[in-house]
Amino acid sequence: MLAGNRGKFFAMLFGVALTALIITQQSSIFIGLMSRTVGFIFDTPQPDLWVMDPKVQFVDDIKPLQDTKLFQVRGVEGVQWAVPLYKGQLRARLSNGLFQTCNVIGLDDATLVAGPPTMVEGTLADLRRADGVIVDEAAAKGKLARQGQGPDSPSVPLKVGDTLELNDNRAIVVGIARATRTFQSQPIIYTTYSRAMRFAPRERKLLSFVLAEVQPGQDVHEVAARIRRQTGLAAYTAEEFRGLTIRYFMKNTGIPINFGMAVGLGFLVGVAIVGQTFFSFIVDNMRYLGILKAMGASNQLLFRMILLQTALVGVIGCGLGMGIASLTSIVSKNSELAFYMPWQVPVVTFLATGLITLITSAFSLRKVLSLEPAIVFKG
Amino acid sequence: MGSAILCKELTKSYVTDKTATRALRGVDLAVEEGELFMLVGPSGCGKTTLISVIAGILNQDGGECRIFGEDLKAMSEEQRTAYRGHTVGFVFQSYNLIPTLTASENVSIPLLLNGYAREEAAAKAEAMLGRVGLQGKIRSLPNSLSGGQQQRVAIARALAHNPRLIVCDEPTSALDYATGLEIMDLFRHEALNGNRTLVIVTHDSRIFHFADRIGVMDDGTIVQIARSAAEVHLDQTHKK
């Protein structure tokens, strides 16, 4: 019946598809943004524990430690090894004279633990070369790219062998790596810990984190508790540190409210468009529903018919909306758009459109239940 | 033959916020099985209310109405729905075919509601459309058919599941005279096969001669039962 009324069918399809698109896209962008806040933790899977100042609230909230804390952690029973990690923001001077703030990661000189997950050019060991730094691929092609020869020439990506000026220090690009984009989308530059100490402005304390591995057979949480007790520092597993960071952003930024409102509005738009269109469809077809009722169709049968029709629109519309959202993610794969769609997003979108279908059907149900079959003899 | 319809002292009122309108004021009526019975009378006299009660789509307030011996008032809502599904066929003034379904699909509806499989229902519907002279219009949508053809589809739909009672509300009033006669001829020769009973509400005096008996209604009661068109005295109305 509904497919026969093309105008209303497409209006409902449009409503569901728009809702599914908004819910999928906004949820995926929200999750993408949240993932970026913990991108660095994801990219550093080697250590069992992240040790830091107890006041640290999230991964970029650096409260430097004294170097001696490293040795204290190494001295805790159950710790296999512990290495220092520097994480800070330094200014890079570009070839055109402009400055770009970069996220500089200083890796333990001996082990190079916490290096980038994927090397595109060069190797991690190249960091041991004099003044060596590894730059992330997106920054090499974007924010750190060199200006072309002419005024209108396209910029030239930074490549191995190029030099940078980091806080008035010379740095030579020895590798290009692929790393998860950060929340601030700043270039990521990897170097050794000792070189990072040289690049960073002089301060009394520069150690950002201590990365620790637990001895085999030892319980990670027990060792973490021991570190907390003996050093007075905070010690988290990667999962706990990600949770801490995400909770901070959820609690202290407007991101969840903004995206939550967009998702909520999408849902309401869906209910309004689909509900109103379907209700008007039911009102238009009351006569025919009355005929079916007069001919012996039960209320249950009529309701099943209505539910089937809304469900059909729901499934097609949901598929269309999610398809468009997925297409957006493919098209914007190499852009700044933070789009990450885990399997939970399509499930939530499907449930939301299912709910719209149910609400819409429930509106119509009342109308059908109160329908007098005697309507068939009127006019 | 026994009584198909037996109504005694049937009453029905429509109550609005401030007023109550008495549509049926104690109707007594007996229609035999296999009879074509017409209900005539002025607008608002209660004809449609009476066939609505007989068809089981409206509850009477008082009195008794037995259809093939079954007391409609004693039935639950589910039983009445089932009763309508297998016992009654409907033909309406404005055809009331579902516009998005083909002629065959429209005729299949009562069969599907009676539990026929889709293929079987389609085959029976096509056969029934053949019987009403619409072999070539099986796949046609209602709006591509003439008024007479649409009414033939409606008759095929009413007959498809072989109901024992057919109620018709002004089946010829939207048609020209010649087509109206064709439709009545179809009722007479197709619909009355076996012991099926037809109750037709009409204003159209040109088709009275198709009836076995004619009940003249006025002001909620039956004021005359005529055996032929010539006996009908519509001027009796309001002289009760």
**Over the stretch B21-56, which tens digit does the pLDDT of each residue have?**
889 999 999 999 999 999 999 988 999 999 999 999
The whole-chain average pLDDT of chain A stands at 88
In this prediction, residue B182 carries a pLDDT of 84
CA distance B217 to chain A (A): 17
CA distances from A142 to A94, A121, A187, B115, B170 (A): 12, 16, 9, 68, 79
Contact B98 A297 (CB under 8 A): no
Q: Any bridge partners for residue A50, and if so which?
A: A211, A236
Q: Please report, rounded to a whole number, the percentage of residues in chain B having pLDDT higher than 70.
A: 97
CA distance A315 to chain B (A): 22
Of A4, A296, A372, nearest to B81 by CB-CB distance is A296
Q: A237 or B17: which carries more pLDDT confidence? A: A237
Binned at pLDDT 50, 70 and 90, residue B239 comes out as: very low
Pick the residue from chain A with its C-alpha nearest to B85: A296
In this prediction, residue A358 carries a pLDDT of 85
Q: A5 or A45: which carries more pLDDT confidence? A: A45
CA dist., res. B167 & res. B72, Å (int):
16
Binned at pLDDT 50, 70 and 90, residue B1 comes out as: low
Least confident of A23-27, A144-148, A193-197, A210-214: A144-148
In this prediction, residue B236 carries a pLDDT of 52
Which sign, positive or negative, has the C-alpha torsion B132, B137, B142, B147?
negative
Q: Across residues B192-203, what is the average pLDDT? A: 86
Of A287, A295, A298, nearest to B109 by CB-CB distance is A295
What tokens were used for A33?
Answer: 């943004």
Q: Across residues A49-78, what is the average pLDDT? A: 93
What tokens were used for B174?
Answer: 């939207």
Q: Please report, rounded to a whole number, the percentage of residues in chain B having pLDDT higher than 90.
A: 54
The whole-chain average pLDDT of chain B stands at 88
Contacts of B98 in chain A (CB under 8 A): 1, 288, 291
CA dist., res. A349 & res. A330, Å (int):
19
Contact B84 A295 (CB under 8 A): yes
Q: Across residues A263-289, what is the average pLDDT? A: 82
Pick the residue from chain A with its C-alpha nearest to B154: A291
In this prediction, residue B240 carries a pLDDT of 41
Among candidate residues A201, A199, A128, A138, the one with its CA nearest the CA of residue A337: A138
Question: Which H or E run contains A171?
Answer: strand A169-178
Binned at pLDDT 50, 70 and 90, residue B201 comes out as: very high
Interface size, chain A vs chain B, as Cβ–Cβ contacts under 8 Å: 60
CA dist., res. A63 & res. A211, Å (int):
15
In this prediction, residue A173 carries a pLDDT of 93
Q: Write the DSSP assignment of B80-126 as a string of letters.
A: HHHHHHHHEEEE-TT----TTS-HHHHHHHHHHHTT--HHHHHHHHH
Contacts of A309 in chain B (CB under 8 A): none
Contact B52 A374 (CB under 8 A): yes
Of A1, A291, A298, nearest to B81 by CB-CB distance is A298
Residues in chain B: 240
Contact B81 A297 (CB under 8 A): yes
Residue A211: phi and psi, rounded to 5, are -100, 125
Q: A230 or A356: which carries more pLDDT confidence? A: A230
Q: Which residue has the tokens 């209660």?
A: B46
Contact B164, B196 (CB under 8 A): yes
CA dist., res. B34 & res. B37, Å (int):
9
Of A288, A294, A297, nearest to B57 by CB-CB distance is A294
Q: Across residues B51-73, what is the average pLDDT? A: 91
- pLDDT(A125) > 80: yes
Question: Which H or E run contains A27?
Answer: helix A6-37
Strands B197-201 and B165-169, how do they pair? parallel
Least confident of A234-238, B12-16, B52-56: B12-16
Q: Across residues A310-322, what is the average pLDDT? A: 90
Binned at pLDDT 50, 70 and 90, residue B172 comes out as: confident
Binned at pLDDT 50, 70 and 90, residue B107 comes out as: very high
Among candidate residues A58, A42, A127, A142, the one with its CA nearest the CA of residue A92: A142
In this prediction, residue A182 carries a pLDDT of 79
Contact B84 A296 (CB under 8 A): yes
Q: Write the DSSP assignment of A122-163 as a string of letters.
A: S-GGGGGSTTEEEEEHHHHHTTTPBP-SSTTSPPB---TT-E
| Residue A55 CB neighbour total at 10 angstroms | 8
Contact A292 B90 (CB under 8 A): no
Q: How far is CA A305 from the centre of its chain?
A: 40
Contacts of A301 in chain B (CB under 8 A): 113
Burial state string for B57-78 with b = 16 or more CB within 10 A and e = fewer than 16 = bbebeebebbbbeeebeeeeee
| Side-chain-side CA neighbours of residue B129 (13 Å) | 23
Binned at pLDDT 50, 70 and 90, residue A329 comes out as: confident
In this prediction, residue B173 carries a pLDDT of 81
Contacts of A3 in chain B (CB under 8 A): 100
In this prediction, residue B238 carries a pLDDT of 44
Which sign, positive or negative, has the C-alpha torsion A34, A40, A41, A45?
positive
Identify the DSSP state of A180: P
Contact B55 A3 (CB under 8 A): no
For A65-90, how does the pLDDT look when each residue is reduced to its tens digit (9 = 90+)?
998 999 999 999 999 999 999 999 99
Contacts of B110 in chain A (CB under 8 A): 295-296
CA distance A288 to chain B (A): 6
Which stretches within A218-372 are classed as H helix? 220-231, 238-252, 255-284, 286-294, 299-331, 344-369
Contact A295 B85 (CB under 8 A): yes
Binned at pLDDT 50, 70 and 90, residue A3 comes out as: low
Contact A296 B113 (CB under 8 A): yes
Q: Which residue has the tokens 């003034």?
A: B93
Q: B88 or B230: which carries more pLDDT confidence? A: B88
For B143-163, how does the pLDDT look when each residue is reduced to its tens digit (9 = 90+)?
999 988 998 899 899 989 989
Binned at pLDDT 50, 70 and 90, residue A379 comes out as: low
Binned at pLDDT 50, 70 and 90, residue A4 comes out as: low
CA distances from A168 to A93, A94, A165, A199 (A): 8, 11, 6, 8
**B69-77: which pairs have CB atoms within 8 A and are 24 or more residues apart?**
B69/B2, B69/B3
In this prediction, residue B176 carries a pLDDT of 84
Of B52, B100, B113, nearest to A295 by CB-CB distance is B113
In this prediction, residue A361 carries a pLDDT of 82
| Side-chain-side CA neighbours of residue A296 (13 Å) | 20
Contact A296 B82 (CB under 8 A): yes
Pick the residue from chain A with its C-alpha nearest to B169: A377
Taking phi first (over 0 means left), then psi (-120 to 50 degrees means alpha), and beta for anything else, what does residue B147 get? alpha
CA angle A111, A114, A119 (to 5 degrees): 95
Report the residue of B59, B90, B168, B201 to disrupt the A interface, i.e. the one with the largest count of A CBs within 10 Å: B90
Contacts of A292 in chain B (CB under 8 A): 109, 113
Q: Across residues B210-214, what is the average pLDDT? A: 92
Which sign, positive or negative, has the C-alpha torsion B206, B212, B218, B224?
positive
* The one-letter amino acid at A214: V
Q: Please report, rounded to a whole number, the percentage of residues in chain A having pLDDT higher than 70.
A: 98
Contacts of A4 in chain B (CB under 8 A): 99-101
In this prediction, residue A264 carries a pLDDT of 86
Contact A291 B90 (CB under 8 A): yes
Residue A233: phi and psi, rounded to 5, are -95, 165
CA distance B82 to chain A (A): 6
Contact A369, A66 (CB under 8 A): no
In this prediction, residue A68 carries a pLDDT of 92
Q: Across residues B51-77, what is the average pLDDT? A: 91
In this prediction, residue A175 carries a pLDDT of 94
- pLDDT(A378) > 80: no
Structural class in CATH, domain B3-236: alpha beta
Contacts of A297 in chain B (CB under 8 A): 81, 85, 113
Q: Across residues B182-211, what is the average pLDDT? A: 85
Among candidate residues A101, A94, A140, A147, the one with its CA nearest the CA of residue A120: A140
For A334-347, how does the pLDDT look when each residue is reduced to its tens digit (9 = 90+)?
777 778 888 999 99
**A239-244: which pairs have CB atoms within 8 A and are 24 or more residues apart?**
A241/A38, A241/A41, A241/A50, A241/A59, A242/A38, A242/A41, A242/A42, A244/A56, A244/A57, A244/A58
Contacts of A373 in chain B (CB under 8 A): 57, 84
Among candidate residues A95, A167, A84, the one with its CA nearest the CA of residue A131: A167
In this prediction, residue A14 carries a pLDDT of 87
Contacts of A376 in chain B (CB under 8 A): 57, 90, 92, 96
Q: Any bridge partners for residue A212, and if so which?
A: A49, A82
What tokens were used for A323?
Answer: 């398809």
